[in-house]
Amino acid sequence: MKLAIKALLFNFCLWWAAMPSLEAADKSFQSVEITIKTISASKQGNEFDPQLAALEKQLKALNYGSYRLLKQETQTARWQGNANFQIPGGRMLTVRPQEVNNDQLGLRVQLKQGDKPQLETTVRLNNRGNFILGGPRHDNGVLVLSISATAR
């Protein structure tokens, strides 16, 4: 019984000691590293760019024939700051990290072609997770953007 009480006290001390670290895990992120992979997907051909190996399963679910990495760019943005990415076809992708909560990042994403806004969305994704934005036409296929974010 004495051993159980000791263990209980130890648990309490351990939890008490860990609390600041757990709280800090959410609050200590100063910025967000955003990576955009711009991929050209086409029904023609059957080639898969080896540089896209990490995204193979995600991309092949889109049912295109060939996938080619056109550009990969990483930028670091502060909270409420914009990160602008040039996308082929005169497009601009702007990503604004808004908040982090429970290891999930809130991102405001805007896609423009020239001055014309094409899409604006707010997403919440897991830290170090990604989502796909696709559809804009490019050459004989479409553009597929893999947008990933990591809080730092």
Q: Kindly tell me which of 83 and 105 has the beta carbon lying closer to other proteins.
A: 105
Q: Kindly tell me which of 76 and 113 has the beta carbon lying closer to other proteins.
A: 113
H/E segment holding residue 119: strand 116-126
Helix and strand tally (H, E) in the chain? Answer: 2, 8
CB of 79 to other proteins, least distance (A): 17
User: Among 80, 79, 100, 96, which Cα is nearest to 147's?
Assistant: 96
Q: Kindly tell me which of 84 and 113 has the beta carbon lying closer to other proteins.
A: 113
User: Among 103, 105, 107, which Cα is nearest to 95's?
Assistant: 107
CB of 86 to other proteins, least distance (A): 15
Residues contributing to the site for other proteins (CB under 8 A): 1, 3-4, 6-8, 10-11, 14-15, 18, 21-22, 25, 41-44, 57-58, 61-64, 89-90, 104, 106, 111, 113-114, 116-126, 128-142, 150
SS3 content of the chain, % helix, strand, coil (to 5): 25, 55, 20
Q: Kindly tell me which of 50 and 63 has the beta carbon lying closer to other proteins.
A: 63
CB of 72 to other proteins, least distance (A): 17
| Cβ atoms 83, 75 nearer than 8 A | yes
CB of 81 to other proteins, least distance (A): 19
